[in-house]
Amino acid sequence: MKHAFLILTHHSPEHIYTQVKRMDHEGNMFVIHIDKKRQIDRADEYWQKLQAMPNVTFIKDRVNVQWGSIRIVDATLKLMYEALKYDVDYLHLLSGECLHVKSMAYFHNYFEKHAGSEYMSYLEMPEQNTLGWGSNRYDKYHFHEYFNPRSPLFKDKAIKFMNAVGRVAQRNLKK
């Protein structure tokens, strides 16, 4: 059984290499998207080691992923499209923070035992929940995608102002 691990990360090549080496096993391949904001030193020894691994592929058209942004979906789709070019049975989406807690032998035995099972689920998005969010997470523009919300220039008031302007504009567009 073949597994493709899709890794979304912004970490250093050393961190990525450590993660990949821990999961390296016959039948495993790795497709890695490194956030576009992350500079890559192609002379780095760990980068060279990753490049030399035959079961590691990198997304070349990298995406600048912002927290809470739809761009993470773009990066995920790039990973999936790349992985589906290969003969794999399962796709596993991981962040650069993920480290497995079971051995790869256990992992492979589990999937052999449950071959053909799918492990996807979803929840219906409420119109609004008790925390005050719901469908507005996906049916409204969120301007923080275009500005760095961690920047002191746009922190707090600027982002709130832009979202308020966006809500007014969208209300007027519906008329």
**Residue 154 structure tokens:** 């746009």
Rounded to two decimals, the pTM is 0.76
Residue 66 CA to residue 34 CA, distance in Å, equals: 13
Three-state DSSP class for residue 84: coil
Strands (E), 10-161: 28-34, 56-58, 90-95
| Per-residue pLDDT at 148 exceeds 90 | no
* Predicted pLDDT at 18: 92
Residue 99 CA to residue 114 CA, distance in Å, equals: 22
HSE-CB at 45 with a 13 A cutoff on CA atoms is 1
| C-alpha separations of 96 from 68, 130, 132 in Å | 17, 31, 30
Helices (H), 39-131: 45-52, 71-83, 104-113
pLDDT in tens, 46-79: 999 999 999 999 999 999 987 777 889 999 999 9
Three-state DSSP class for residue 105: helix
Q: 13 versus 79: which is more confidently predicted?
A: 79
**Residue 122 structure tokens:** 């979803």
pLDDT in tens, 85-144: 999 999 999 998 888 888 999 999 999 999 989 888 887 766 666 666 666 666 666 666
